[in-house]
Amino acid sequence: MAYSLTTLTEEQKRQFEQEGYLIVKGLFDQHQLKEIEDTFEAISQTVVPGHFEPDLSGESTDPLKRYPRVMHPHRFNDTAKKYMLNAPVLAVLQDLYEEPPLAAQSMFYYKPPGARGQALHQDNFYLKVEPGNCIAAWTAVDATDEENGSLMVVPKTQDYDIVCPDLSDSKESFTTHYVKPPKDRKVMPVTMDPGDVLFFNGNLIHGSYRNKTKDRFRRSFICHYANESASQIGQFYRPLYRADGSEVQLELNPDGGPCGVEFETLYPH
């Protein structure tokens, strides 16, 4: 059954405000999930330069070489764009932002058996949404649990400043950044059923561990959004999109962030 376009309860809003995240059950129905599955199964057999560049030779022992994440599929695939602008998702975001959301990014993670996870990080380190913040909508295409590398969140870190990351453990994370959680905060796994959507604040520390199973993928469709009143965003997330699919051009955020401005940015070759 499709999720109705009703507002969130006060309890749900309070959960997001106090904990930094919220799971909305069954936001995508079986028909929608099947369309997403079929779309990205077809994409997985191809190469899309700049978006999805798998090693189709079968020679690599790293499962993420065969199944890397798909970056910005909404820029080349109509189904991905349609579900990035999914009305029930936007309705939840409208409630959380208390203003219309703007879609900034889409991704698809296959996370095959044996795949490394992604070290703990903060999304707005990358998106640089100002004023305001980004919110992620993380849709479980497969059931997720600790065994197949579910998302891990650090509750109540949504008010934690964006920090300059440390170097991650490359044996466990396919990305290089790692944000150490505060000593008084615990890392918590998020168990989800297919069609559930996890919404979380752009400052919330989160990540995932390795998929330890032999035969279970942990596929997920992930989109990031900005509040309509934002005026700036990072360079890789433009243009943004309104609910009707029309483009929005926010200014480029020139702030180098907590790590400062990169050398090449100051002194281009």
Residue by residue, pLDDT tens for the chain (269 residues) are 344 566 899 999 999 999 999 999 999 999 999 999 999 999 999 999 999 999 999 999 999 999 999 999 999 999 999 999 999 999 999 999 999 999 999 999 999 999 999 999 999 999 999 999 999 999 999 999 999 999 999 999 999 999 999 999 999 999 999 999 999 999 999 999 999 999 999 999 999 999 999 999 999 999 999 999 999 999 999 999 999 999 999 999 998 889 975 544 443 33
CA distances to 52, 191, 211 from 127, rounded to whole Å, are 20, 26, 26
Cis ω for the linkage preceding 165 (within 30 of 0):
no
Global pTM value: 0.94
What are the structural domains of the chain?
11-47+60-261 (2.60.120.620)
* Rama region for 68: left / alpha / beta (φ>0; ψ in -120 to 50; rest): beta
CB 151 within 8 A of CB 21: no
